[in-house]
Structure 1
Amino acid sequence: MAIVALEKVTLCGPRQDKTAVLAALQSLGLVHLVSLRATKGWNEETTQRPEGAYRALRWLLDSPRRFLQVTDDQDFDFDAVIAAVRHNRFGMTETRNHLETLLAQRKLLEPWGQFNPPTPDQLGGQRFWYYVVPLHQFEQMNKADLTWAVVKRDHRHVYLIVIAATEPPRERVPVPPVPIGHLSLHQLDEQIVSVRQRIEELEFQRHWQTRWISLILRELARAEDRAALSHAETLTRDESDLFVLHGWLARNDRAQVEQFAAQRGIAVFFEPPLPDDHPPTLLSNPPAVAAGEDLARFFQTPGYADWDPSRVLFFSFAAFFAMILADAGYALLLLVGLSACWKKLGRKPMTRRLRSLAAVMLAAAVGYGVLAGNYFGVAPPEGSLPAAFKVFDLDDFDTMLRLSVFIGVAHLMLANGFRAVRYWPSNPARTALGWNGLLIAGYSGWLAVAQVLPEALLPLCWFLGIISALAIFVWGSDRPTRTAKDKLLRIVDGFGALTRITRAFGDVLSYMRLFALGLASAALALTFNQISLATAQALPGLGLLLAALVLILGHALNLALAMVSGVVHGLRLNFIEFYNWGLSDEGYPFRPFCKKELPHE
């Protein structure tokens, strides 16, 4: 768990070899380029992405069926294939819209029966106006001077046709006309069949075009590689016959770059970061917990001078999700679903990392649910094996409250602890230890007042709290004290640092949401169980079916709410409360100048 140490690297070589050197450096893929001109460094957003081609690719990737991939690109015409896919996508959109229009038209015409609506030419300029009039309004209509006929009548409406050259005024007919059109039901059905056949043809065409996915991906990667190489050429500084390229490199990769420079016959220089430099941040973690890096970058990439929170985020997020889900039955159900998708999720590095995170989250959820004795909202019977593993009760508010606050205190202490280790022996490190002492004193004093701990510990808690507050007051500022004014301002800074006590109190209490959401999930599951049982008892026979529906739909809703709450609030406690105390510097990610081109299969 560390931020990889970097060093500055400078390459210098003949100007006529610049393109070749950059192409080879791109293949090496180890250096984060920095501009030596008045332009920004390279990143993925600086390249011009062919959006039309990416939309075409997404259209093929979303196809429910794929053909065997073509790997030989000898006869592959990228532009022609993309144009054909775009034509298919637009054609499918237009055809589906046409089908929806026809189906809506048929739904309007169906109550009027099978007939051929006349056109104005057939009626000498007159038109049919179709109305669906409520019965009570039809009886009150003034039908004088109207040419009308009732086509159909039901218990609610009258289906009325009025013949007129223009639409009758609203005071004569109280409802707007129905836009029937000039096609009969038979003609609409024929068109609907024809349009559906066209959709099937376009779907087959789309499936057939999926055989080009691999080659499209390869060509798009090549295009982005060319764009990145072209942009890299603008980052160098050219002087007479030489070019100079600057960047950042992982210290462990230095030997590879030295070998690269020797093979290319160019000069290379290395130097450590200076205090005023702002290197990018490169995180390095084992694959099993690498998803923690994705969580860290999702909110804020830590600064180069800070510490890597990836593993803490990985395990704390899993623990918070488990406490909010708070049901072993739900967790086991999700584990079955994860097992079914396990192989599919292992195809890409990103999904493999998320798969590991999901497995740890659900394993923690199963363990917590077993300890809480909660299985789909049902507590295990006394004397059973699951009951033997039950350690605490979700309905025991006092215990669950103390547990939630303890987790909050421990989480914030962990943040301060890493901060102290990273910045020791600076004042921020000493202040972080002072806050940890204050957190311990406050939590222990609360337990002593509640008589969970011996009351004799209260004086010790007061002593620790006062010493910790003094440490925060003394070391809460880095302001030098050369003059009397500096000393006065230093005292003001000390009092300002102590005002964070209110924030510490609020942040610790924020962890009570773990208990509250877990309890809400368990209570909702129990409620659906009770409703289902009452329905089955009240309605024998049919009640069993209704009870099953209530049970399935209710638990599905509760599971969805618990999962959303677990993800949202699990991330919030890490990114707001934890980051607030553990990290101070925001960085930017290390992006190596490398090729995206896919290897041939």
Structure 2
Amino acid sequence: MITQMKKISVITIRSARTETLQALRDLGVVHVFTDRTDVDSGDQLREQKNHIDRAISIIPSPEARPKAAEALHQGDAAVDPALDIAQELIESADRRAQLEDEQDRLQRELERLEPWGELDPQVFADLRDRGVEVRLFEAPADKAREILSELPNVTVLSQNKRLVRAVAVALGSDRFPEGLAGVPLPDRSTGEIREALTELDREMAEIDAEAEARQKDLPLLLAAQEQLEQDLEFARVAQTMEHDRALEWITGFVPFDQVDAVTSAAKENGWGVVVRDPSKDEHVPTQLRNPKPVRIIQPVFDLLGTVPGYRELDISFFFLLFFVVFFAMIIGDAGYGAILLGGTIYTALKARAAGRPLGNGSILMIVLSSATVVWGAITGNWFGYAPFNNLPVFRSLVIPGISIDSETSTEMIQYMCFIIGTVHLSIAHIWKFLRGLRERPRIAALAQLGWLSMVLGLYYLVLQLVIDPEKYPMPDFALPLIAGGLAAVIIFGEQQEGKGFLSGVGRGVAGIITTILDSISAFSDIISYIRLFAVGLATLAIAEAFNSMAGGVAEGLGGVGGIVAAVLILFLGHTLNLAMGALSVVVHGVRLNMLEFSGHLGMEWTGVEYTPFKTR
């Protein structure tokens, strides 16, 4: 759930502003909205942090990422030695960049000279000293005869459809025409260029080795990075402080159960404190507090980077509940689920053996893969191979109506998808109705019952249009549910506090076109849940295709070669299919929660995560 926040102002005298901020940082419960743009007093801190950031990026990442806590120096004591190391690394990196530029230049020069073979400019200079001038020429094939005819003593070295290369020699009184300078000679021989490239490679390799040897300094650099980040945050928070004469104060937000901690600190430090509820138009940070079983969904929110607004709803429980169902139906294969489950358990056991706690992500994957095994088992889908269902153990787990080898499975699973969608969207409107009863005007909450009525009526319309109108005819009460729900939305949807009932009805009638379009959108939202069936069916079809391909190759080649080829096809095919299924979960499973369900709840995901000002 979303924690209730209190807005709090801490007042101090100007001479004690730094001590006050340090005490608040040590307390670590006040969220302060700071301008993330650069602060006037932070130029040196930003420059230092940029140096540290660049140095960390230069060092190759080791297999086991070190932690700042491993450094011998912590806090301010880590900054100066880390900056010295960073300076050395940056100078080496700049030198390497210069070497790369020189390498690129020499490589291009060598490629330019390659058609001419081995060249040495000293040979040309010696000949010139003896009165013999030699020049190299390139001419377009269509103009070569005209250009070369003007040159003395021409010998064509090579030619193709595009270009002619020739050498011309001026002896005695011979002169080259003005404006024909020829191909520029290199400043060194091609052999010397190759030697220079070898030397550049050697020097760059030494720089790379030095950077890799600096991996031992990563903890110190990370500790300095953390300290500089804290110093910058301190400067930003200090900039937000307001003042009037001798007083200064800082304003932020605190969870309701942490207010006593601030007031106790105020008594100890002689601060003034003002505590009040945030107003409706204030931007308030969001802190989510959920039970451990629900908290396992948090890695998905972290991956998406989404935070509900302070006045929105925490959908963590329903997101987790339906995401497990969506994941299982989209992957759809008990064999794939068993692979994911085994891999997750193996990784979790290795983490526990290394002394690391079991993270929420691992627990979530165990739940998701277990659900996939269950769904695949009851539908008889083990790697898309129907004959597995003939095995007694697997056959006992199958529900005949939805088995992959059942004629009724397509219709039944589509039916289940629409039931899931209707329940999912109905929960949204019931929840929104209950929340609306706590707000004014309470009568506006009745619009959510109208939407609920429409969703239920549209469900029967979807069954008739998508599955089978003969098997699923619309009951007599379906159209009244839709029409009555639409009327309720029009009548109650625009009711506002302090405005008359009839004026609200008038606004609802004026927006009837938008309401009708929204009802059509609700109809399409229910239909969109068929993606659970469609993507699951695609996963099954691809698995069956690779199974068939492997069987054909094994039969066609025969022997050990056929078996090896078939195993390779099965491995690559099912690995690709599992990867595509995982991508489909992100695209479709997350979408149904974040768009369809959240849209019917009116969620905008405009929240800012509660990150208190504290020592990190």
| Bin of the TM-score, shorter chain as denominator length | 0.7 to 0.9
Matched with 2:182 is none
Native 8 Å contact 2:71 2:223 kept in 1? no
Matched with 2:144 is none
Shift of 1:345: 7.1
Native 8 Å contact 1:517 1:565 kept in 2? yes
The CA distance in 1 between the partners of 2:25 and 2:473, in whole Å, is: 67
Shift of 1:575: 1.8
Native 8 Å contact 1:328 1:366 kept in 2? yes
Matched with 1:581 is 600
Matched with 2:586 is 567
Task: Name the SS for the 1:77 alignment partner.
Answer: helix
Native 8 Å contact 1:261 1:268 kept in 2? yes
Does 2:271 correspond to 1:266? yes
Matched with 2:167 is 164
The CA distance in 1 between the partners of 2:371 and 2:29, in whole Å, is: 37
The CA distance in 1 between the partners of 2:382 and 2:106, in whole Å, is: 50
Shift of 1:116: 7.4
Q: 1:81 aligns with which of 79, 82, 85?
A: 85
Does 2:129 correspond to 1:122? no
Matched with 2:385 is 378
The CA distance in 2 between the partners of 1:88 and 1:286, in whole Å, is: 51
1:113-512 to 2 correspondence within 5 Å? 117-123=118-124, 124=127, 126=134, 147=155, 163-164=166-167, 182-183=189-190, 188=194, 197-198=202-203, 200-290=205-295, 292-293=297-298, 295-296=300-301, 298=304, 300-342=306-348, 352-379=359-386, 380-391=388-399, 392-394=402-404, 396-424=409-437, 426-444=442-460, 458-479=475-496, 482=500, 487-493=505-511, 496-512=514-530
**Cα 1:130/1:277, change in 2 over 3 Å:** closer
Native 8 Å contact 1:447 1:453 kept in 2? no
Larger mean CA deviation between 195-204 and 10-19 belongs to: 195-204
Identity of aligned residues (%): 23
Native 8 Å contact 1:448 1:458 kept in 2? no
Show CA shifts across 1:543-574 (max 9, x none): 44433333232222222222112112222222
Task: Name the SS for the 2:475 alignment partner.
Answer: helix
Task: Name the SS for the 2:31 alignment partner.
Answer: strand
Shift of 1:208: 2.3
**Cα 1:373/1:244, change in 2 over 3 Å:** same
TM-score normalized by structure 1?
A: 0.79
Matched with 2:34 is 42
Shift of 1:5: 0.6
Matched with 2:18 is 19
Count of residues in correspondence between the two structures? 559
Matched with 1:170 is none
The CA distance in 2 between the partners of 1:436 and 1:569, in whole Å, is: 24
Shift of 1:540: 3.0
- Read off the aligned partner of 2:554 and give its amino acid letter: A
Native 8 Å contact 1:445 1:458 kept in 2? no
Native 8 Å contact 1:6 1:248 kept in 2? yes
Native 8 Å contact 2:106 2:193 kept in 1? no
Task: Name the SS for the 2:275 alignment partner.
Answer: strand
Native 8 Å contact 1:67 1:207 kept in 2? no
Native 8 Å contact 1:280 1:588 kept in 2? yes
Larger mean CA deviation between 382-391 and 19-28 belongs to: 382-391
**Cα 1:444/1:358, change in 2 over 3 Å:** same
Show CA shifts across 1:477-508 (max 9, x none): 21576497665434334664344210001111
Native 8 Å contact 1:236 1:245 kept in 2? yes
TM-score normalized by structure 2?
A: 0.77
- Read off the aligned partner of 1:522 and give its amino acid letter: L
The CA distance in 2 between the partners of 1:547 and 1:106, in whole Å, is: 48
Task: Name the SS for the 2:252 alignment partner.
Answer: strand
- Read off the aligned partner of 2:12 and give its amino acid letter: G
Shift of 1:287: 4.5
**Cα 1:9/1:44, change in 2 over 3 Å:** same
The CA distance in 1 between the partners of 2:112 and 2:383, in whole Å, is: 47
Matched with 2:145 is none
- Read off the aligned partner of 1:474 and give its amino acid letter: I
Does 2:539 correspond to 1:553? no
**Cα 1:377/1:596, change in 2 over 3 Å:** farther
**Cα 1:335/1:83, change in 2 over 3 Å:** farther
Task: Name the SS for the 1:375 alignment partner.
Answer: coil
The CA distance in 1 between the partners of 2:104 and 2:328, in whole Å, is: 45
Cα RMSD of the aligned pairs, angstroms, is: 4.3
Native 8 Å contact 1:289 1:353 kept in 2? no
Structure 1 residue runs of 5 or longer lacking an equivalent are 34-40, 134-142, 152-156, 167-178
- Read off the aligned partner of 1:469 and give its amino acid letter: L
The CA distance in 1 between the partners of 2:87 and 2:50, in whole Å, is: 13
- Read off the aligned partner of 1:475 and give its amino acid letter: F
**Cα 1:345/1:29, change in 2 over 3 Å:** farther
**Cα 1:304/1:241, change in 2 over 3 Å:** same
The CA distance in 2 between the partners of 1:536 and 1:495, in whole Å, is: 62
- Read off the aligned partner of 1:431 and give its amino acid letter: A
The CA distance in 1 between the partners of 2:322 and 2:337, in whole Å, is: 17
Native 8 Å contact 1:472 1:494 kept in 2? no
The CA distance in 2 between the partners of 1:81 and 1:357, in whole Å, is: 41
**Cα 1:148/1:343, change in 2 over 3 Å:** farther
